[in-house]
Structure 1
Amino acid sequence: MKKSTLSGLIILLCVLAWAGGTYVLGGQVRNLYQSSLKGADTWGIFSLAADDYRRGFLSSQARTQLDLNLSRGEGAGSPESMQLVFNHTFRHGPFPGGFSLPALAEVETRLAEVRLDGVDVEGFFEHFPELEAAVAVTRVAFDGSAKSRLHIPPLERHDSEGELKWQGLKIDAMAEPEGQALQGSIEMPGLEFIAEGSRIELGGIHGEFDLTEALPWIYVGRSKMSLDGLELAFPDGEDGSRRSFGIKAGKVTLDSRYEGERLHYRESLEFARLGMDDEFFGPLSVEIELRNLDGRALSDFMGQFQEAGRELAEVDPESRLIRLLPLYGELAMKLLAGAPELKIERLRLVAPNGEVRGGGRLGFAGEPGFFLGDFGALLQQVEATVELEAHESLVRSVLAKTMRAELQAQAAAQAEYGPEEIEQLLAESLESEIDNLLEQNFVVREGDKLKTAAGLKNGVFTLNGSALPIFSGE
């Protein structure tokens, strides 16, 4: 056989193998797409459905419709549902997109239609062409793992209704076969919205997650999110006054694990500064721990909830809630029987006139056979403690602000006394209030701080070491 003939035969065999592989993998891509929708076709007010699938040789096309049931607004003509239709282009392996690394497929997803109550929103993409340009690209490996990137470009709008400046969104994610593990990051540089005298300015949001599937619907691992800042300003009343709220440098970290059929969560929150009108506080920090949650019960509940969502898809929200209540009741019984525990630790808030520290714990004994509706029996299984301390100067400042507002309102209504008399009454009332709190043992004084400690165990409530009756007549 001539060398040229042999070379031609090898090339022909390679082309046939590539073509055959492309055709076979195209079928696998379709099966993968359809199976992925089965696991998340209905979830609460959301539902997903394959709208169309057209298989080709080198690539295939598909459409997925996301339905969102909306609560009916107070105004006439408010929409009851929203539909988002996405177009997918599946480029088949083994070399999707031409001369690229081998893969099962490369999927490109774009938003194609926006509907309200099934009717297209006219001119939506003319008003928001950036959303039409947004694209998510997913590369699916032969083992079923996937790597995705979603990029929504920045957009800016100015019209008679207000101003919108959004600096876009980027999401990178990696998923192991069949969703056994998820890793990724979220980046949103910022958002500013102005309308009807109100202003919202959201600083950059940065998030990371590294999760592993412990049970169906249950993922554990670590998630982190940071917020550069948040500023809200809005009118208050008809006199032209305004109110504001702000956050600076917030961080949230959530760690979770699954051990011995139990789920454990630990969350830490930190904020460098919080502001309300002209008052500023911070830093604020706290750690929250939730332990001993029955993992199987939660996993089963999530599956049953989704299945019920399919069956009740056409039922109105109120009837749906009534029919789902038994599921929630069953979940509560199972969780309480597992001796769950909630802890709040290392709470610290710094204010201009002092600081607050504290913590607490809420737990259940987990003894079987109790009835959720029997409040007395339930109290016997509850164990709770709360400890708080604050500088007395801070307590006085908070009480004075509240009492001054009440006295000023009384003076405005009755015109019985002026500003100097208000301050004199305030000083007298403030001392009386502090003395009353100390006398009734609601707080105790230690140096420059006021402290309180409360507890509940075996149905007995204690406050600063003294037992108090829970029910009248005890």
Structure 2
Amino acid sequence: MKRKVIIASIGAAVALGGAYVGGTWYAGRAAQDTMQKQHEWLASLPYFIVKNREYHRGWFTSTETATLQVNPDYYRFFLEREGEPLPVFELKYVQHITHGPLPLLTQFNLHPYKAVVDTEFQFSPDTQKFLSRFFGEQKPIQVENRIGFSDDGVMNIKVPSFEYEEAISGVKAKWQGLTATLDYGGDFNSIKLNALAPGLSGDAKDKGSFSFKNLSAALDHKRGTTGIMIGSSSVQLEQLNLNLSEGQPLKLQLDKLAYNGLISEKGEFIDGLARFTLDKLQLDNKPYGPAEMVATASHLHGPTLAKLSDELTRLQKQKLTRDQFTDAVVKLAKTEGMPLLTNDPRLAIQSFNVKLPDGAIRFSAEVGLKGFVAADIDKPVDLVNKLDARADFNVPRKVIETVASWQARNMFGGSDSGISNDDLDYLVGQFVEGQINRLAEQKLIRVDGDLLSADARLSQGTFTLNGNKVPLPWNQPATTDETAAEH
């Protein structure tokens, strides 16, 4: 009886082992298909050019090696010099793929995955030598990709912390690292990102210092029915400090700078919202803030946006000169972008509010098209008649004087000019006062004590400024000379 039990146990173990080995082979083949899809997605991005790629599949593990080049079109405008070769930025990486169904078994993790991929970046000797000054023997970046059986997965990214110091120059730096988690769906049709960099500080002897604290980013997007990725995104910075003591001294501190964005879908139309906020800005011991700006875009034709995005990516991956790329973009806008204009789009800065030591600035504006047709593009008057726009602002008089004084001091001030700042401020004050009075007499602005304001509106071909109708050029009565010429 015991012999039968032992034989049965051995048979079961052999069967399980065979099933696992077979499952590993199957998972390895499926993982290769998934890695091919992920490679094609990476290659489809306009940011990179894939120079080469090799894939070697084994039974339990596989290896993928690839070299990426940053697309030169993204830095050509900044680094290209006539007669000089354009620098090339390349990155080689090796991906070590452990096949499922239990790729983390050696780590006592029984969670099933199709594969787990560890990415190793290989830098040039000079780059590696430079990075070693900061990271030592640590890998500058670590990436682990856990791929599920539905091609969804979780990618964990880590940049380790370091402390750096140069005794001779007195340069010090402390980097507290970065961690990020990217959850993605099959075919990258949904993406969730959370990233955090706790801080970076640097100090250069007798020159200044720099630091930031708690920089975080979040993204939650999924592909909509129009092909556009919709959802929310945010970036937050708790604090930024900059103190320059060399040359023109500067002391700056930002507190709680944030961006929040939302892209939504209504049928085949896309709406977008972006909100920027700042709790406080301390500039040379003067407080500014809080500040907020809210911008929106509404009723944008989603299928057109998706098509333009695909075509722009295609153009960016072609080797075009600057002029050729510009001509191609203009042609693309004319041939494919027209539905963006013919579907009553609207853009707006809903609010822009900044509190300053001398008061507050408030501004808002929006512009939209109503009833636009493709033929209007060649008829400026008809185009203007389809515009619906407005703008208004409020600004303290003292703010205008302060900005003008800054400009005057930069242009005419200094120890070599022989003009004192007090004299410059007096002259600027007189000039600004004269300009304000002149604009008020022409009804271009309103003056209410120390507050300056204006509002403008364009609707159905009629333009009003501060409530006063202003004739447009084509609505002006013909002059005597023009009338005589017609006869």
Q: TM-score by structure 2 length?
A: 0.84
> Which residue pairs with 1:339 in the alignment?
344
Larger CA deviation: 426-435 vs 201-210: 426-435
CA distance in 2, matches of 1:303, 1:405: 46
CA distance in 2, matches of 1:301, 1:45: 17
CA RMSD of aligned residues (A): 3.2
Query: Is residue 364–residue 383 contact of structure 1 (8 Å, CA) maintained in 2?
Result: yes
Residue 257 of structure 1 pairs with residue 291 of structure 2 = no
Residue 108 of structure 1 pairs with residue 118 of structure 2 = yes
Where does 1:63-74 land on structure 2 (aligned, <5 Å)? 63-68=65-70, 69=72, 70-71=75-76, 72-74=79-81
Query: Is residue 370–residue 378 contact of structure 1 (8 Å, CA) maintained in 2?
Result: no
Task: Give the Å deviation of 1:340.
Answer: 1.3
CA distance in 2, matches of 1:287, 1:420: 38
> Which residue pairs with 2:132 in the alignment?
126
> Which residue pairs with 1:225 in the alignment?
235
1:149 to 150, 156, 169: 156
> Which residue pairs with 1:172 in the alignment?
181
2:17 to 5, 12, 15: 15
Q: TM-score by structure 1 length?
A: 0.86
CA distance in 2, matches of 1:234, 1:76: 36
> For residue 351 of structure 1, what is the amino acid of its counterpart?
L
> For residue 220 of structure 1, what is the amino acid of its counterpart?
I
Task: Give the Å deviation of 1:253.
Answer: 0.9
Task: Give the Å deviation of 1:206.
Answer: 1.2
1:305 to 307, 312, 333: 312
Residues 398 and 307 (structure 1 numbering): CA distance in 2 closer, same or farther, change over 3 Å? closer
> Which residue pairs with 2:39 in the alignment?
37
CA distance in 2, matches of 1:252, 1:465: 35
CA distance in 2, matches of 1:153, 1:113: 17
2:213 to 203, 220, 225: 203
Larger CA deviation: 18-27 vs 451-460: 451-460
Residues 448 and 419 (structure 1 numbering): CA distance in 2 closer, same or farther, change over 3 Å? closer
Residue 183 of structure 1 pairs with residue 185 of structure 2 = no
CA distance in 1, matches of 2:133, 2:272: 43
Deviations 1:154-187 (A, max 9, x none): 1333457855433221111211222222112110
CA distance in 1, matches of 2:474, 2:410: 34
Where does 1:69-468 land on structure 2 (aligned, <5 Å)? 69=72, 70-71=75-76, 72-74=79-81, 80-98=87-105, 99=108, 100-114=110-124, 121=127, 123-129=129-135, 132-159=139-166, 163-193=172-202, 197=207, 200-215=210-225, 218-232=228-242, 240-243=247-250, 245-277=252-284, 279-310=286-317, 312=318, 314-372=319-377, 374-399=379-404, 401-402=406-407, 425-446=427-448, 448-468=450-470
Partner SS, residue 183 of structure 1: strand
CA distance in 1, matches of 2:313, 2:262: 25
Query: Is residue 134–residue 163 contact of structure 2 (8 Å, CA) maintained in 1?
Result: no
Task: Give the Å deviation of 1:473.
Answer: 8.6
Query: Is residue 262–residue 273 contact of structure 2 (8 Å, CA) maintained in 1?
Result: yes
Task: Give the Å deviation of 1:464.
Answer: 0.3
CA distance in 2, matches of 1:244, 1:374: 52
Task: Give the Å deviation of 1:61.
Answer: 1.0
> For residue 210 of structure 1, what is the amino acid of its counterpart?
D
Larger CA deviation: 292-301 vs 131-140: 131-140
> For residue 121 of structure 2, what is the amino acid of its counterpart?
L
Deviations 1:409-464 (A, max 9, x none): 9x976x7x877765654554343233222212122134553221012223333210
CA distance in 2, matches of 1:422, 1:307: 55
Residues 45 and 95 (structure 1 numbering): CA distance in 2 closer, same or farther, change over 3 Å? closer
Deviations 1:106-145 (A, max 9, x none): 1111212349xxxx74634533546635211111111221
Larger CA deviation: 315-324 vs 171-180: 315-324
Query: Is residue 208–residue 223 contact of structure 1 (8 Å, CA) maintained in 2?
Result: yes
Partner SS, residue 370 of structure 1: helix
Query: Is residue 46–residue 314 contact of structure 2 (8 Å, CA) maintained in 1?
Result: no
CA distance in 1, matches of 2:376, 2:258: 40
Residues 400 and 127 (structure 1 numbering): CA distance in 2 closer, same or farther, change over 3 Å? closer
Partner SS, residue 440 of structure 2: helix
Larger CA deviation: 2-11 vs 67-76: 67-76
Q: How many matched pairs?
A: 462
Task: Give the Å deviation of 1:400.
Answer: 5.2
CA distance in 2, matches of 1:155, 1:36: 32
Larger CA deviation: 268-277 vs 422-431: 422-431
Partner SS, residue 116 of structure 2: strand
Query: Is residue 143–residue 177 contact of structure 1 (8 Å, CA) maintained in 2?
Result: yes
CA distance in 2, matches of 1:174, 1:401: 49
CA distance in 2, matches of 1:419, 1:202: 34
CA distance in 2, matches of 1:8, 1:360: 78
Task: Give the Å deviation of 1:376.
Answer: 3.5
Task: Give the Å deviation of 1:396.
Answer: 4.5
Task: Give the Å deviation of 1:147.
Answer: 1.1
CA distance in 2, matches of 1:425, 1:232: 32
CA distance in 2, matches of 1:366, 1:157: 61
Query: Is residue 183–residue 209 contact of structure 1 (8 Å, CA) maintained in 2?
Result: yes
The gaps in structure 2 that reach 5 residues or longer are: 477-487
